[in-house]
Amino acid sequence: MAYQGGYPPYGAPPPQGHSPQPPYGQYPPPQQPYGQPPPGQPAYGQPPPNQYPPQGYPPQQQAYGAPPPAQYGQPAYPPQQPPYGSPAPPAGQYGQPAYPPQQPGYGQPPPPQQYGSPAPGYGAPPPQQYGAPQQYGAPQPYVQPTPPSVGYGPPQQIAWNGDADAEALRKAMKGFGTDEKTLIRVLADKDPLQVNVIRDTYQRKFHRQLIADVQSEVSGWFEEGLCAIIRGPLLTDIHLLKGATDGPGTKEKVLNDVLLGRSNADLRAIKEAYLKTYRTSLESDIKADLSMKTERHFLMVLAANRNEESTPVIPQQVDQDVMEIYKATEGKVGTDELLVCSILSQRSDAQIRAIAHTYKQKFTRDLETVIIKEFSGHMEAALLHQLRTGTDKAMRDAMLLEAAMAGAGTHDALLTNRVIRMHWDRNHMNNVKGAYQHKYHRSAVSRIKSETSGDYEKLLVAALGEH
């Protein structure tokens, strides 16, 4: 639907045509599709036969393990499109399609809670810190963990042959010159499991490392983008984290992009792969690079004990979180930063969305505005990232794309890795393109074309599913 007066602020419920504001204690459904389709075309968010949705949000699926309609005073969420190549699975993170359940992710269960660790789960008694009142309700029963994203679970065998692609890549780089067009054609549209097959097949057939051959043939941001695809999402994440924490300074935007708003399963996979690859824990490198409350915020995140997306959203507990955030920010002199960090690091996306909506209803101010007023620097950016993950993940990523291109010059490292990261999930990628079109009144692809050139431009455009 077309919004009047621009996109609503984060924390406000998405408009439902001319429907009235949801009554207090009821939460808005996930973001509705952007825009109206041309006459005779399917609604945005509804893919044409055998295609991904062109732009705009697909309908969302009821959260995996979430309460049925009318339970907990919360409306049911509409269904979400299943991802590429899979049957309709239970929903994963809000705003992000779930993949078929896999084996438990890398790593071990999260460590016991320590001082400065995230806030307790809904229904659990809180530690006696921050002056928090007793939580409502009895302890919740076991909830189904959110499965790891594709590429973050244990290795999988897929019924897909990568011989032809491996041979095409070798031919493109063998002898004099490089066929860059073939490199883009073969790699830009593959999912993480297909990339693994191609990489392994290339090594088996030619006794060569694909990434080393690419690095010897191309350069610049074109090389960076191709290598991010060849590594796959998990190894690219740990490669970026190591680069962000090595040497002088810390690349704070990279830490935010890679670590915030992630599922527990994905975070455990990242920590395990980081330790296996670099022989040091990610936590120790974060401690060495960050300091004070920002360090403690990221250690809360790395504890990987967020409420799973199957955890019910219960109004009394949402109210309690809202009041705790208010008392930690607007309701006192000074700001209790760690309490806000703990809530946004511990709650599920659906719970964060409910918190933002309820805060707006109670105090007639957007929670995003409160964070901008009360925080600054890296902690402000990190909290906004976590909040926007819950309220509107696609718009979050559309804004991150624009931020990488805005102002003097282009932040090519951020742009490259943000495009490649979103391209792994085609449904989410199309949602981001729809959100970008809505907010900036031009396509993300046309914007990228205006900021890049050559094979680098062609790779990013192809990764976004266009030419």
For 162-200, b where at least 16 C-beta lie within 10 A, e where not — what string?
Answer: beebbeebeebbeeeebbbeebbbbbbebbbbbbbbbbe
Q: In this structure, what DSSP letter does residue 105 have?
A: -
Would you state the pLDDT for residue 98? 36
DSSP string, 383-434: HHHHHHHHH-HHHHHHHHHHHHHSSSS--HHHHHHHHHHHHTSHHHHHHHHH
> Which phi and psi (to 5°) does residue 63 adopt?
-55, 140
Considering Cα of 92, then 97, then 100, then 104, what sign does the dihedral take?
negative
Inter-residue contact 313 to 354 (CB < 8 Å): yes
Closest of 130, 108, 136 to residue 313, by C-alpha: 136
Q: What is the arithmetic mean of pLDDT over 336-349?
A: 97
Residue with tokens 């809180």: 126
Q: 346 vs 96, which has greater pLDDT?
A: 346
278-300, pLDDT tens digit by residue?
A: 999 999 999 999 999 999 999 99
Inter-residue contact 318 to 355 (CB < 8 Å): yes
312-391 belongs to CATH 1.10.220.10: yes
Do 162-233 and 312-391 share a fold? yes
**Which numeric CATH code is attached to 235-303?**
1.10.220.10
The highest-level CATH class for domain 394-466 is mainly alpha
> Which phi and psi (to 5°) does residue 464 adopt?
-85, 10
Q: In this structure, what DSSP letter does residue 304 have?
A: -
Would you state the pLDDT for residue 270? 99
pLDDT above 60 for 203: yes
List all residues 6 or more positions away from 18 whose beta carbon is below 8 Å from its beta carbon: none
Q: What is the arithmetic mean of pLDDT over 438-448?
A: 98
Q: Where are the domains of the chain?
A: 162-233, 235-303, 312-391, 394-466
> Which phi and psi (to 5°) does residue 60 adopt?
-95, 155
91-100, pLDDT tens digit by residue?
A: 333 333 333 3
Amino acid at 35: G
162-233 belongs to CATH 2.60.120.590: no
pLDDT band, residue 103 (cuts 50/70/90)? very low
User: What pTM does this model have?
Assistant: 0.74
